[in-house]
Structure 1
């Protein structure tokens, strides 16, 4: 039920969808006797569209998440395991085309391959089922497993978790699979903006992991002062940022995240 509700609410938590609904409501009101109210609603929608699409607000919201965990630094202790969260592979298109299709978070897969080569004794855990509510569900982890094998990662090093649909399930199902021992070092690979919610989810199930952020999307705080040159680019970043902030808040309120603000 939590999963279905989160997906339904998630539609309206994307600013681009909300703005579109506001504009649609204003346009429909123009066809009624409430034309003046419709014009005002439509005007509000247009203003929101311009602010969300061209202003750096989306970058600011994203940076407040992505800058919380710095790049991982090797401290002399090789990791015992590397956990890679799904979201880098378009599993439905990959299955339909019988060809690997990477999406905008492809850095997660690249990091997995690099870390597997650098630390040949580490176990590789790829956690990713299907988070689609309507489309045909095709788990991501098996496709990632084929990719790892194609690049020479020994199958006995790889554990595939393909049931999870959310970040909270990534954490709980992965912990059940690997049963981490005290003192072990586990790296968590995911997008930088997704790392705060991911760390909270893993700490909530008492799995102590070290953040290995990738897929930064910005060059740093200097982007907070730069407007976008395309409406679609600004809207896309705003959608990602607001969706992630909403997910972080929902996890805290729903008890699926840590009680305190996560930090390195």
Structure 2
């Protein structure tokens, strides 16, 4: 198991909040007030993260790039040279398909990219490496889906990246050799600001094509103020993204 993954799971919610609960239990007799504060912090954090309305509000802070207007899809070839789709994880050994499959987020990106490609005639490039170090790569799985389900061949596959920064830098190594520096980038709306920044740092001119907006009306009963397990997962994604936006310029920013 990669150390980076282990630290990420322990130091970000909900993992860190569960650790705080353990601390509260451990301190309950010797330091009851501190234990009570830890307990309140952990339960309060888990409750807030499980609310769809919090997901909606949080996503609006991250989703800065507008959706592409469908009427402009046919003109994309005049502005860019290729559609780049970022990997979004994979599901292992799905019995229904008899093999690994792209995650639901990755499939959402693929569907959108396929429509853009059909409307514009632009070629496709996929970026996504090994999931937890085991083949096949995310790029290979996504390319299979595009070809089998949408009849869309992939011209470039970048299969070594593990992070958004590597998505950009390794795609640059692949595409710049063919003189390609103008791309339309497909990823989740909340991920787009960081992804765009990475690709621009790697020397690309980027046209954003975000999908999967979370900062829209949640449509849940009681306005989204009732806890929901899906919201907890979405909140974790958004928090991870917010931290990434803060950390990436410090780690990868050019002097």
Q: Same fold (TM over 0.5)?
A: yes
Whether 1:107 and 2:108 are equivalent positions in the alignment is: yes
Q: Aligned Cα RMSD in Å?
A: 3.0
Conserved 8 A contact 1:23-1:45:
yes
Unaligned stretches of 5+ residues in structure 1: 260-264
Conserved 8 A contact 1:62-1:237:
no
Q: Which position in structure 2 is the counterpart of 1:132? A: 132
1:24 counterpart (18, 22, 25): 22
Deviation at 1:35, TM superposition (A): 4.0
The farther-off stretch of 185-194 and 124-133 is 124-133
Q: Alpha-carbon deviations, 1:190-246, whole Å to 9, x = none?
A: 0000000001101111111110001112325999x9434234233222211110011
Distance 1:219 1:105 in 2: 20
Q: Alpha-carbon deviations, 1:49-106, whole Å to 9, x = none?
A: 223323733322221111x11112428352421000000x515335994253532442
Conserved 8 A contact 1:13-1:242:
no
Conserved 8 A contact 2:90-2:131:
no
Distance 2:98 2:244 in 1: 31
The farther-off stretch of 45-54 and 197-206 is 45-54
Q: Structure 1 residues 86 and 129 mapped into 2: Cα distance closer, same or farther (>3 Å)?
A: same
Distance 1:168 1:159 in 2: 18
Whether 1:205 and 2:214 are equivalent positions in the alignment is: no
1:50 counterpart (42, 47, 54): 47
Conserved 8 A contact 2:82-2:124:
yes
1:141 counterpart (120, 139, 142): 139
Normalised by the length of structure 1, the TM-score is 0.80
Superposed, 1:169-180 pairs within 5 Å as: 169-179=166-176
Deviation at 1:42, TM superposition (A): 1.6
Distance 1:161 1:72 in 2: 25
Normalised by the length of structure 2, the TM-score is 0.82
Conserved 8 A contact 1:195-1:211:
yes
Q: Which position in structure 1 is the counterpart of 2:152? A: 153
Superposed, 1:179-218 pairs within 5 Å as: 179=176, 181=179, 185-218=182-215
Q: Structure 1 residues 131 and 244 mapped into 2: Cα distance closer, same or farther (>3 Å)?
A: farther
The alignment partner of 1:165 has SS state of: coil
The farther-off stretch of 32-41 and 230-239 is 32-41
Deviation at 1:126, TM superposition (A): 0.4
Distance 2:52 2:216 in 1: 16
In proportion to residue count, which structure has more strand? 2
